[in-house]
Chain A
Amino acid sequence: MKAVTIYPITRLEGHGKISIFLNDEGNVENAYFQVPELRGFEKFCEGRPVEEMPDITSRICGVCPEAHHIASTKALDAVFHVEPPPAAKKLRELLYSAFFVADHITHFYILAGPDFVMGPTAPKAERNILGVIGKLGLEVGNSVIKHRSDALDVIAMVGGKRIHPSCGVPGGVSKGITEDERTRIQSIAESEVEFAKYTLSLFDDIVLKNKDYVSLITNEAYATQTYCMGTVDDQNHVNFYDGKIRVVNPEGEEFAKFSPAEYEQHISEHVEPWTYLKFPYLKKVGWKGLVGGMESGVYKATPLARLNVAEGMATPTAQAEYKRMYETLGHKPIHSTLATHWARLVELTYASERLLQLSQDSDITNPNIRTIPTKTPDEGVGAVEAPRGTLIHHYKTDANGIVKGVNLIVATTNNHAAISMSIKQAAEGVIRNGNVSDGILNMVEMAFRAYDPCYACATHTLPGQMPLDIKIYSKQRALLYNIRTP
């Protein structure tokens, strides 16, 4: 039996490894997606002052530090039982929307885009942002960089830093914005909205107008039937900053809707010995292994999943594109992995429009941006929608606000099972009779990159070197033996 290893999986944030096992005919016997590293945040956050969590946990991920920073800050509100002033909430969401803009641009143009723009089988030296710039022209390249950078400017204006903001405090934010800054943000927002529209048209031209790509998107090899998870507002519209977590089943019917504080009743995490990353699943459905369907607790929490659980978008252009997507692909929910890219652009549009709305809110320059906590800190949960899925921070502290326990359900981790399944499917779909070319392997990675997995995030815990542990399962996945060396 021959093993093919793609290592590292490039163009994702963090580290990943895919091992595909072929049978004697050279067809896929099995494929494993492994996360080879972890870091131990949940443990080493213990003993730290809880107010430092936004600063520390944002280092889980430098790609989406804002997600961790804001989730953590919201958890602090809960830990200290304090309600931020309205302006503070708006500033947080403003920062957060800018972050979504920057992040989705980064992903589409730098991480995943090249696959489409250059074509999946293009030589590797061209399958990158520089290749994209080469093909679309320098001004597009500059525009990409500008709009990404402008969004980061907004983050810096509110959060202090372009990467790893430092503004999060229980009961608000440490810094407000001036009227000048607001006007600057507004003009940035206007331009971001335009750029989002441009990106939609680009996607239209390059992808939707291209038969191969459309078939690729609708290709069974790139579809996994699972539950979907995402956060919605009280109109069941997609919301990134706040709301209830909603879960729909593979048919799209509501399965659960709960507030973040109740997450423990709905989410469990499964451990496999061959990867450092846990597999979250729906507690009430249960873990049935890396399979999809109604019976398996596996779920997706991706842009596509968010659109699947929602009943629309809260801003006009995004809403229009939302409808167009479901009409074009003909059904809801959509499980086709590659449609995630489209969903991401719908979100990019929403994020930029939301950014504009908030920048036009006169109250956002209100200097009252902090409520000083008065209650004794104890325990709290904070959640947001990170670009890569629902992100939950949960802290327990002593009366002095020193962290005693931390649990994190990190965005990408939600999709760990779904990703593994997608990869296996993709591998089965594109690897035939031992025909394993570079392009084909990239196509496997495409399935993977569709999730824009962020393993910097996912790998927030470190395992120890333990005695060898071999599990032998029956066909029914019942544990027959569990042999361990002492």
Chain B
Amino acid sequence: MTKPKIAFNWASSCGGCEIAIFELGAKIIDLANKVDIVFWPAVMDYKYSDLEAMPEKGIDVSFFNGAIQNSENEHLAQLLRAKSKLLVAFGSCAYLGGIPSLANTSNRDQIFANSYIETSTTENPEKIFPQIKVQKDEGELTIPEFYNTVKTLDQVVDVDYYVPGCPPVGEQVSKVISQFVGGELPPIGAVLGASEKSLCHECKRVRTDKKITKIVRSYQTIPDHQKCLLEQGIICMGPATRGGCGSICLDANMPCRGCYGPLPKAIDQGAKMLSALSSIFDADSEEDIQRLADSVPDPLGTFYRFGLAHSLLRRTKQ
């Protein structure tokens, strides 16, 4: 029997998901014996041409990390979709848009002006901007077209499975990989390598009374290591976020930022957290409520830190 063919690819993301594959540790070597890795630009010498040469559905599973932020990302997504029996959105960027999709709070022209003109060290008197096509004496130089709106993988192609996490934690990665290598697979569309319950379920902190009397920013206090951060006024996305990571950020005494994405039945992770947080405001009068609401520093950027592209509204109005 032939080894299953596996591909990894990396679109708009930091590459942490690629590194997360190394978290397989020694297992990566047995993996190499169990499967044929047919495409992995960050680690192996294969070019797009090699990928294009492959037959349709020639790859058994492709793990795609990164959001779709430019025409190259989208082209590759389509290419891998066509070449793969199963396509997996691997990591928060491919699944939810991730932190790159915070770019959806801005737009291309603003980002462009900021990057190539406004930034303090930029010297660009002629206001030159990168071009998709540039004609040099020797020939034409092309670069991919940047998109105004960052998209999740499943907003451009059909996705079979999702693996959340920024990045997915090691144990989960090996669990997921083994699910594909001769393991049992849930129905198409499932989220793998994560819990069906919120982070609170695995969080070791003590919960007593959910009440927000004051919003406390992480730099303003040294939180009690034992007590629920939310109950200490620190906004923690844990209640609205899938578990599975092992609540490692909380163990470092830092709040959850939501990288594992929404719960199975949740309509919108950010809206759910907004609702939960504000519902427990310890305020009844118009003024007190307004004061507490105003003291949340950055609702959008906090509730959609990792999932703006995946959210109901996806981006800000432009």
- Chain A residues with CB under 8 Å of chain B are 1, 3, 6-8, 10-15, 17, 19, 21, 29-30, 32, 34-40, 42-49, 51-52, 55-56, 58-63, 65, 76, 80, 106, 110-111, 124-125, 127-130, 133, 138, 141-142, 145-146, 148-149, 152, 156, 159-167, 169-171, 174-175, 263-264, 267-276, 278, 280, 283, 287, 370, 372-373, 394, 400-402, 405, 407, 409, 442, 454, 456, 461-466, 468-471, 479, 482
Q: How far is the CB of B138 from chain A (nearest CB, A)?
A: 3
A278 contact from B122, B146, B252, B254, Cβ within 8 A: B122
Q: Does B307 reach chain A (CB closer than 8 Å)?
A: no
B112 contact from A17, A58, A278, A463, Cβ within 8 A: A463
Q: How far is the CA of A221 from the CA of B246 in the complex (A)?
A: 50
Q: Does B78 reach chain A (CB closer than 8 Å)?
A: no
User: Is B121's CB under 8 angstroms from A269's CB?
Assistant: yes
Q: A10-B45, A63-B16, A276-B146 are in contact. List 9 more A-B contacts (CB 8 A).
A: A3-B139, A43-B110, A49-B301, A162-B169, A163-B167, A166-B249, A169-B219, A269-B121, A276-B143
A47 contact from B48, B73, B253, B301, Cβ within 8 A: B301
Q: How far is the CA of A370 from the CA of B42 in the complex (A)?
A: 38
Q: Does B226 reach chain A (CB closer than 8 Å)?
A: no
Q: Specify which chain A residues have a CB less than 8 angstroms from the CB of B105 in the assembled complex.
A: 44, 47
In this complex, how many residues of chain B approach chain A with their Cβ under 8 Å: the count is 93
Stretch of B96-104, B155-163, B277-285 on the interface side: B96-104
Q: Specify which chain B residues have a CB less than 8 angstroms from the CB of A128 in the assembled complex.
A: 43-45
Q: How far is the CA of A138 from the CA of B26 in the complex (A)?
A: 10
User: Is A43's CB under 8 angstroms from B103's CB?
Assistant: yes
A160 contact from B116, B254, B305, Cβ within 8 A: B254
Stretch of B129-137, B191-199, B265-273 on the interface side: B129-137
Q: How far is the CB of B314 from chain A (nearest CB, A)?
A: 14
Which residue in chain A gives the minimum CB-CB distance to B38? A125
User: Is B133's CB under 8 angstroms from A442's CB?
Assistant: no
Q: How far is the CB of A264 from chain B (nearest CB, A)?
A: 6
Q: A148-B22, A409-B121, A464-B108 are in contact. Are A38 and B297 (CB under 8 A)?
A: no
Q: Specify which chain B residues have a CB less than 8 angstroms from the CB of A125 in the assembled complex.
A: 44
- Chain B residues with CB under 8 Å of chain A are 10, 12-20, 22-23, 25-26, 28-29, 32, 41-48, 69-70, 72-73, 98-100, 102-103, 105-116, 119-124, 126, 128-139, 141, 143-146, 148, 166-167, 169-170, 217-222, 248-249, 251-254, 257, 297-298, 301-302, 305
Q: How far is the CA of A350 from the CA of B121 in the complex (A)?
A: 32
User: Is B15's CB under 8 angstroms from A14's CB?
Assistant: yes
User: Is B103's CB under 8 angstroms from A42's CB?
Assistant: no
User: Is A36's CB under 8 angstroms from B144's CB?
Assistant: yes
B167 contact from A40, A51, A62, Cβ within 8 A: A62
User: Is A160's CB under 8 angstroms from B145's CB?
Assistant: no
Q: A42-B114, A124-B45 are in contact. Are A62 and B18 (CB under 8 A)?
A: yes
Q: List 8 A-B contacts (CB under 8 A).
A: A40-B103, A45-B102, A47-B298, A52-B298, A61-B15, A106-B22, A146-B25, A170-B219
User: Is A461's CB under 8 angstroms from B32's CB?
Assistant: no
Q: How far is the CB of B40 from chain A (nearest CB, A)?
A: 8
Which residue in chain A gives the minimum CB-CB distance to B251? A160
Q: How far is the CB of B315 from chain A (nearest CB, A)?
A: 11
Q: Specify which chain A residues have a CB less than 8 angstroms from the CB of B144 in the assembled complex.
A: 36-37
User: Is B139's CB under 8 angstroms from A21's CB?
Assistant: yes
Q: How far is the CA of A21 from the CA of B26 in the complex (A)?
A: 43
Q: A12-B42, A40-B106 are in contact. Are A407 and B120 (CB under 8 A)?
A: yes
User: Is B46's CB under 8 angstroms from A124's CB?
Assistant: yes
Q: Specify which chain B residues have a CB less than 8 angstroms from the CB of A38 in the assembled complex.
A: 115, 146
User: Is B14's CB under 8 angstroms from A65's CB?
Assistant: yes
User: Is A280's CB under 8 angstroms from B132's CB?
Assistant: no
Q: How far is the CA of A30 from the CA of B141 in the complex (A)?
A: 12
Q: Specify which chain A residues have a CB less than 8 angstroms from the CB of B109 in the assembled complex.
A: 464
**B28, B98, B141, B251, most chain A CB atoms within 10 A:** B141
User: Is B16's CB under 8 angstroms from A169's CB?
Assistant: no
B29 contact from A43, A138, A170, A482, Cβ within 8 A: A138
Q: Specify which chain B residues have a CB less than 8 angstroms from the CB of A273 in the assembled complex.
A: 128-131, 134
User: Is A456's CB under 8 angstroms from B248's CB?
Assistant: no
User: Is B143's CB under 8 angstroms from A62's CB?
Assistant: no
User: Is B25's CB under 8 angstroms from A149's CB?
Assistant: yes
Q: How far is the CA of A254 from the CA of B288 in the complex (A)?
A: 60
User: Is A65's CB under 8 angstroms from B134's CB?
Assistant: no
User: Is A62's CB under 8 angstroms from B19's CB?
Assistant: yes
Q: Specify which chain B residues have a CB less than 8 angstroms from the CB of A49 in the assembled complex.
A: 217, 297-298, 301-302
Q: A40-B103, A62-B15, A466-B112 are in contact. Are A162 and B23 (CB under 8 A)?
A: yes
Which residue in chain B gives the minimum CB-CB distance to A174? B253
User: Is A465's CB under 8 angstroms from B249's CB?
Assistant: no
Q: A175-B252, A462-B112, A479-B126 are in contact. Are A7 and B47 (CB under 8 A)?
A: yes
Q: How far is the CA of A146 from the CA of B70 in the complex (A)?
A: 37
Q: Specify which chain B residues have a CB less than 8 angstroms from the CB of A19 in the assembled complex.
A: 139, 141
Q: How far is the CB of B66 from chain A (nearest CB, A)?
A: 10
Q: How far is the CB of B209 from chain A (nearest CB, A)?
A: 24
Q: Specify which chain A residues have a CB less than 8 angstroms from the CB of B146 in the assembled complex.
A: 37-38, 276, 462-465
Q: A14-B15, A39-B103, A44-B106 are in contact. Are A264 and B120 (CB under 8 A)?
A: yes
Which residue in chain A gives the minimum CB-CB distance to B112? A464
Q: How far is the CA of A409 from the CA of B10 in the complex (A)?
A: 23
Q: How far is the CA of A456 from the CA of B65 in the complex (A)?
A: 13
Q: Specify which chain B residues have a CB less than 8 angstroms from the CB of A405 in the assembled complex.
A: 120
Q: Specify which chain A residues have a CB less than 8 angstroms from the CB of B170 in the assembled complex.
A: 162
Q: How far is the CB of A335 from chain B (nearest CB, A)?
A: 25
User: Is A8's CB under 8 angstroms from B123's CB?
Assistant: no
Which residue in chain B gives the minimum CB-CB distance to A103? B19
Q: How far is the CA of A270 from the CA of B231 in the complex (A)?
A: 49
Q: How far is the CA of A141 from the CA of B24 in the complex (A)?
A: 13
Q: How far is the CB of B229 from chain A (nearest CB, A)?
A: 11
Q: How far is the CA of A146 from the CA of B25 in the complex (A)?
A: 7
Q: Specify which chain A residues have a CB less than 8 angstroms from the CB of B112 in the assembled complex.
A: 462-464, 466
B116 contact from A159, A162, A268, A278, Cβ within 8 A: A278
Q: A6-B47, A62-B17, A268-B121 are in contact. Are A37 and B301 (CB under 8 A)?
A: no
Which residue in chain A gives the minimum CB-CB distance to B220? A372
Q: How far is the CA of A76 from the CA of B257 in the complex (A)?
A: 19
Q: How far is the CB of B175 from chain A (nearest CB, A)?
A: 16
Q: How far is the CA of A127 from the CA of B17 in the complex (A)?
A: 22
Q: Specify which chain B residues have a CB less than 8 angstroms from the CB of A8 in the assembled complex.
A: 41, 47-48
Q: How far is the CA of A40 from the CA of B108 in the complex (A)?
A: 9
User: Is B12's CB under 8 angstroms from A39's CB?
Assistant: yes
User: Is A13's CB under 8 angstroms from B167's CB?
Assistant: no
User: Is B222's CB under 8 angstroms from A372's CB?
Assistant: yes
User: Is A174's CB under 8 angstroms from B119's CB?
Assistant: no
